[in-house]
Structure 1
């Protein structure tokens, strides 16, 4: 509610115009609402709007055209995602963590990153596939991909998803460059600025950054070892009327939790009752020791959109992801894909298909699961030796979510470790509510170097 003083009412009108300009709702040259219309919108008198417009004109933000109205004169500054919403400390901001982890420096250790070391990836299989592709003539090396993406790869994905109970035919699958691009396209398709989107709390930190770019309102649902807290989910859905829910299938990022079947079924019922859509990111599915229930299988791709990629298990350089969704949403999504990226990479799709088809990927995934199991056991041993406690002991996967000793905040520890060329992933980067200050996410595949644990031991011991 607006304050009662005339000065505060004028400030409120000025603030609303500035917000619309900053958010690109009003672009350079756009006509502002008429004085009478905006006075009604803001619940103030026309004289208050006139005074606000005159002040903005005096500052050069807008300009008056006699007989026509007021127009935006100021060119807005370039969009900076980090500035959308509350300013976060760059030392723990999700985008900052990603930027540091992507740096190519031999001396940089990355237990906080979200991918496997390069020597864990199937280099020999990729080299064979690249050599075979290099001998092909024509389309595979030079042409754009078809609108939905390489048919043979979509057929392979369809067979795998059908085996897992997800009714996705080849024509219901759209190939994209990555899981991130998949979410971006879906958000463009489903969301308007200001829509409420639910995420897990904690959740993969790039969900936050991407949703800020779409100017969505992000609300977190507390996580339990069996998945999202469904009682809290029901209360939040009733209060917030969300448009979308984004979650990680199978092994949750960052906690490593596995969604219990009863939790999955209740979430689908709640989503259906609320008329909301769900994005289920299955990027880590091939690292499971045993297959877990998928929301997309329970729902039958009615409200759930299944996405994934091969960046984490095959190659981050060969950008290849996919979206499986209901039939009447396929063509609009393909149109958005063409409008924003024109075509996915045919070369990447051909490369991925070659490795998937010759049996080497299946063997590679089996070896990864064994290797990750050993790394998980060793990382659990080492964190406990330092007084950290795993939130759960994950069944499989990359991630171990750990609580720090009492009185130690993850952000401060991360800053200190960065000075020693160690990139950590502090908990608040994953938590919309800021409720994970005492947590760190460890990537067990990136945590073998003794220097990580020596530095942590020294810093935790204090001065």
Structure 2
């Protein structure tokens, strides 16, 4: 129930939000009325009335002589109640829903995937026809716990091409990259742990980590990787459990990790108990291979994950985890406990598509299309006063700074009213320091209306002022 208006309702809302975010678990003793009054700078009588109303509603209970306690049932988890409140336009969950539920005629330069026609549909259709004609158990049976051996052997060869040595027994298939991170979170994290992320980073990292009720700390990201000095300070101050990052084709910046930063990063990690989760979802969009932390580390403190939703299909879902073998065995147990079996049919479709004779040629064409679009879109944006942070070598993203005095969240609101879905910078930023940045997906920027709408929104904001 939303609370607005009186001071009494403000006190009630404060208690309810802490219950909803599970900051107050069942049977937690609430602050005394005097302590709550002091904390919220209201009168004791205001808190007494608020507590009495919450007792009447059943949210808390009164124990004479002992104080007030939360009721005995844990509240349903409300991710929106965890962490500080943010405007809906920079709430990762809202932005994701807005993109996924967009009308068919909406333009989505802020989304994180390729247009359907840019994906290798021919290979998917060929795989579907092959499976439909077969009597394969892939159509009806559960998958083995680690997933298809043929697929894991394919991934073994693929990882070796990036100098990552892993046996097929060190690889487990998952439903997606997000599923992989969720399993790793269940495996390694406890509520209250600290996790490091890049600032900016893929915005769903924020939402997913909130679900694990951990503390998140952002490390400023440079064109060569994370700020090493800030990383070192964070290790000392917060003793983080995980660091979650992209090494190749960083999202949202398009930057690449340099060799020198990779070595310094791993040296610091080795001196601590930090585990690094390297999300390599954009590997097939690279034209020049860049360092992988898992290759330098040998899958000791680095876990490599990936999926194929960006280049094969977002509808046919399949991802993987590569880690040391004893961890994989324990992750398999978690996978069985939470989903019993992977999607055997999806993994077989993805494998056949990846090994189809036309996939490599399709990716070569895709690299060419993206290169042309990065140049073309950059020019159009610069003409509007929107400057790319760097000129990426690969991938679909441009991380761009808006003209001085422009607010990305307001710009996103204005453009949404015209059917153009943008991704404002602060949705990617844990520190909320990217208020004047936007992420553009060049593959989704082929319609001139996008730039016309941006120009209109920029002019409107300049005229209205801050």
TM-score tier by shorter-chain length is: 0.7 to 0.9
Q: CA deviation at 1:103?
A: 2.0
1:385 Cα offset (Å):
0.6
Q: 1:23 deviation in Å?
A: 4.5
| 1:106-145 correspondence runs (5 A) | 106-145=104-143
1:356 aligns with 2:354: yes
Shift of 1:149: 0.5
Contact 1:31 1:70 in 2 (8 A): no
Rounded to whole Å, the distance in 2 between the matches of 1:25 and 1:94 is: 21
Once residues 457 and 226 of structure 1 are traced to their aligned partners in structure 2, the CA distance between those partners, rounded to angstroms, is 32
Pair 19,192 (structure 1): closer, same or farther in 2 beyond 3 Å: farther
Contact 1:61 1:74 in 2 (8 A): no
Contact 2:285 2:394 in 1 (8 A): yes
Quote the residue 2:415 is aligned against. 417
How far apart in 2 are the matches of 1:65 and 1:373? 67
Does the 8 Å CA contact 1:194/1:215 hold for their aligned counterparts? yes
Instruction: Give the TM-score of the pair, scaled to structure 1.
Output: 0.88
Q: Deviations over 1:185-228 (max 9, x none)?
A: 10111100111000000000000000111111000000111111
Which one is further off, 399-408 or 80-89?
80-89
Equivalent position to 2:334, from 333, 336, 344: 336
Q: Check 1:136–1:434 CA distance in 2 against 1; reply closer, same or farther (3 A cut).
A: same
Residues 22, 75 of structure 2: 8 Å contact kept: no
Separation in 2, partners of 1:59, 1:429: 35
SS in 1 for 2:217: strand
Secondary structure of 1:220 counterpart: strand
Q: 1:232 to 1:358 in 2, by over 3 A?
A: same
Q: Which residue of 2 aligns with 1:238?
A: 236
Contact 1:391 1:403 in 2 (8 A): yes
Q: Do the aligned residues in 2 keep the contact of 1:193 with 1:214 (CA within 8 Å)?
A: yes
What is the match of residue 35 of structure 2?
none
SS across alignment from 2:289 = coil
Shift of 1:60: 3.7
**Using a 3 Å threshold, how does the CA distance of structure 1 residues 16 and 424 change in structure 2: closer, same or farther?**
closer
Higher mean alpha-carbon deviation, 356-365 vs 260-269, is at: 356-365
Matching of residues 269-348 of structure 1 within 5 Å: 269-348=267-346
Contact preservation (8 Å) 2:20, 2:78 = no
Pair 383,442 (structure 1): closer, same or farther in 2 beyond 3 Å:
same
For structure 2, the residue ranges without an aligned partner over 5 or more in a row are 1-10, 32-47
Q: Tell me how large the CA RMSD over aligned residues is.
A: 2.8
- Per-residue deviation at 1:106? 2.3
Structure 1 pair 16–289 and aligned structure 2 pair: CA distance change class (3 A): same
Partner SS for 1:148: coil
> 2: distance between equivalents of 1:299 and 1:144?
34
SS of the equivalent of 2:321 reads strand
Match for residue 5 of structure 2?
A: none
- Structure 2 partner of 1:429: 427
Shift of 1:271: 1.1
Alignment deviations for residues 263-286 of structure 1 (CA, whole Å, 9 cap, x no partner): 011111111112100000000011
Residue 225 of structure 1 is aligned with which of 223, 231, 239?
223
Alpha-carbon distance change, 415 to 360 in structure 1, aligned in 2, over 3 angstroms:
same
User: Structure 1, unaligned stretches of length 5 or more?
Assistant: 1-11, 36-50
Q: Secondary structure at the match of 1:322?
A: strand
Give the CA deviation at 1:73.
3.4
How far did 1:358 drift?
A: 2.4
SS in 1 for 2:433: coil
CA distance in 2, matches of 1:243, 1:147: 27
Q: Deviations over 1:339-363 (max 9, x none)?
A: 1111111001110111122222222
Aligned pair count reads 435
Structure 1 outlier segments of 4+, above 4 Å: 14-21, 23-27, 30-33, 54-59, 62-66, 68-72, 74-77
Which residue in 2 is equivalent to 1:460? Answer: 458
2:154 maps to 156
The 8 Å contact of residues 174 and 322 in structure 1, kept in 2 or not, is answered as: yes
- Say which SS state the counterpart of residue 281 (structure 2) adopts: coil
How far apart, in 1, do the equivalents of 2:224 and 2:416 lie? 33
Structure 2 CA distance for aligned equivalents of residues 17 and 406 of structure 1: 40
Compared CA separation, residues 58 and 92, structure 1 to 2 (3 A): closer
Q: Does 1:86 align with 2:72?
A: no
